[in-house]
Structure 1
Amino acid sequence: MSAPQTQPLFDCGVPDERTRGLAAAARAVRGGRLVVMPTDTVYGIGCDAFSGSAVRDLLAAKRRGPDMPVGVLVGSWTTIDGLVTAVPASARALIEAFWPGELSLVLEHAPSLAWDLGSTRGTVMLRMPLHPVALELLREVGPMAVSSANTSGNPPASTVTEAITMLASSVEVYLDGGPSGEAVASTIVDLTGPRPRLLREGTVTAEQVAEVTGQDVDRA
């Protein structure tokens, strides 16, 4: 049985619907509202990264507190230069090797940025996804705070129907990119210390991180 459709749903496999859906999603993000979109891992729920109220709405929709901060997706390699204090050589090397893709990098965020992503302790987790719909939206609206499209305690949505079932009318626009396939989380590497620190191992392995950076990798 299909989930009830509560908000605008656009099939991004149909060119006209994709165009209309991306335009609707961009308007929603700029208006401080939430959207669900496909990514290269699982479906994500996202909003304007610089809107504190939108991020709070995102956490409320997921029934999650600020103790689990929201990561930020970007649409290009160069976007991160304006978001962090500095981009170390290890980050540049990993970005060139694995972006866009399933690698998230934790760096110290630029102190001038007025954002509230949760209890980040001055850091931000950044990733560039390898999905055409996500990239097109990100390039249109800029950095987005994005988390997996699910409510706390439930598995991440691998289809838009699963996302609708859990998030319903808390989301303004749903973009359907088809099933996401096997739900594999991104690898998370913390680059705020003297050596890379693996916080979560996904598709990108610790050995690959070590090879690209030329450094030993600590594990959390």
Structure 2
Amino acid sequence: MPIEPAALARAISLLQTGEIVAFPTETVYGLGADAASPAAVGKIFAAKGRPADHPLIVHLASADDLEQWAIEVPELARKLAAAFWPGPLTLILKRAAWVPLAVTGGQPTIGLRVPAHPLALALLHAFARAGGGAGGKCGIAAPSANRFGRISPTEAAHVRAELGERVPLILDGGPCTIGIESTILDLSRLASVGARVLRPGHITPEQIAAVSGALPAVAPGSAAPPRVSGSLAAHYAPHTPLRLVSTPQVQQAIDEARASGRRCAVLCHSRLPDTAAASISQRLADQPAEYAEGLYSALRRLDNLAADLIIVEAPPAAPAWAAIADRLQRAARGAGRQGE
């Protein structure tokens, strides 16, 4: 999808005057603001209904900007940035002293990444060329562009449906190609605890190990600091209650729902024995990358059917499916909770 110069210019103008702008990344659509301006960042929290202590990820135009936002940057961070940026890897580092606490959730660490979407990169480079934001700093804080805790948006239409007039501008870059949020890797305490994956994503621990020489610990949702985006037990959730079941239990779950008078929708990755028993079903690819790309759109579609229950076939218990399993488990815990 071509980048419209007028839309890009308006986005820069909005960002530099402290407003919010939604834009695509390769993972999900983000709700962006000047990361150097506490007032602008506050508009993200207000639009999403996001708790003030929940940290944001700052998007950069290139790895050259690392030192502007972080201190004591380890050599491993530079190696990983060279290997995976632009791309779906967020690095947690010690924040520079000037970084607003509104961005970090009051913590001494900051999450940084360079997105791989051409429109996101065009926005970030244009922002830098225009002089950046407050104090000349060039970073855009951007969590997912949806109500807090709900299904992340992977199309511009999803952002409109979620946030509507709360966002002055939505840059439409087409569907996101990866479809789930970035891997978050904590490098802030290398000497004491080593590298830790705090949120699984498209970049796997094995890929990280190929660069670092050691497999990072995997501690998603860990109670230990730092807190990071998307690590709450209940997250990425539809309004409709969601039940995650193993492949052999799918037909039984459908039958039980029907017997109790509930209308159900089904999301699967394998061929079901009797999909006609469900009100509607959707089948995604049985390969993890393709499944992830379509996951949030499928959940959003099924959530809009006014069904009583969404039954989701659990993904295979294999490392390649770990990020998808993480999102579905959190979605199941948060599903059906209204007004959160």
Q: TM-score, normalised by structure 1?
A: 0.89
Higher relative contact order (CA 8 A, sep 6+): 1
Q: Does residue 44 of structure 2 align to residue 62 of structure 1?
A: no
How far has the Cα of 1:140 moved from its partner?
A: 1.9
Q: Which residue of 2 aligns with 1:168?
A: 164
Greater shift in the superposed pair: 48-57 or 116-125? 116-125
| Cα contact 2:23–2:172 (8 A) shared by 1 | yes
How far has the Cα of 1:216 moved from its partner?
A: 3.9
SS at match of 2:103: coil
Q: How far apart are the structure 2 equivalents of 1:154 and 1:55? A: 20
Q: Does residue 143 of structure 2 align to residue 147 of structure 1?
A: yes
The structure with the larger Rg is: 2
| Cα contact 2:104–2:110 (8 A) shared by 1 | no
Gaps of 5+ in 2: 128-137, 220-340
SS at match of 1:140: helix
SS at match of 1:80: helix
Greater shift in the superposed pair: 200-209 or 94-103? 200-209
Q: Which residue of 2 aligns with 1:32?
A: 18
Q: How far apart are the structure 2 equivalents of 1:204 and 1:182? A: 11
Q: Does residue 201 of structure 2 align to residue 202 of structure 1?
A: yes
Greater shift in the superposed pair: 199-208 or 173-182? 173-182
Q: How far apart are the structure 2 equivalents of 1:215 and 1:181? A: 29
Q: How far apart are the structure 2 equivalents of 1:96 and 1:181? A: 21
Q: TM-score, normalised by structure 2?
A: 0.58
How far has the Cα of 1:69 moved from its partner?
A: 0.9
Q: Does residue 24 of structure 2 align to residue 46 of structure 1?
A: no
How far has the Cα of 1:167 moved from its partner?
A: 1.0
Gaps of 5+ in 1: 1-12
- Of 32, 46, 59, the residue aligned with 1:73 is 59
How far has the Cα of 1:67 moved from its partner?
A: 2.2
Cα distance, 1:63–1:113 mapped onto 2, change above 3 Å:
closer
Q: Which residue of 1 aligns with 2:113?
A: 127
How far has the Cα of 1:132 moved from its partner?
A: 1.1
Letter in 2 for 1:136: A
Cα distance, 1:111–1:131 mapped onto 2, change above 3 Å:
same
Letter in 1 for 2:68: G
Q: Percent identity?
A: 37
SS at match of 1:40: coil
Cα distance, 1:53–1:20 mapped onto 2, change above 3 Å:
same
Cα distance, 1:56–1:114 mapped onto 2, change above 3 Å:
closer
How far has the Cα of 1:133 moved from its partner?
A: 0.8
Q: Does residue 87 of structure 2 align to residue 91 of structure 1?
A: no
Q: How far apart are the structure 1 equivalents of 2:67 and 2:178? A: 32
Q: How far apart are the structure 1 equivalents of 2:173 and 2:215? A: 38
Moved >4 Å (runs of 4+): none
| CA offsets 1:7-63 (integer angstroms, 9 cap, x no match) | xxxxxx345xx1011000000000000001111111111000011111111011111
| Cα contact 2:101–2:107 (8 A) shared by 1 | no
SS at match of 2:201: coil
| CA offsets 1:138-177 (integer angstroms, 9 cap, x no match) | 1122210001111023201111111011111221111111
Letter in 1 for 2:88: E
Greater shift in the superposed pair: 168-177 or 43-52? 168-177
SS at match of 2:143: strand
Letter in 2 for 1:218: A
Bigger helix fraction: 2
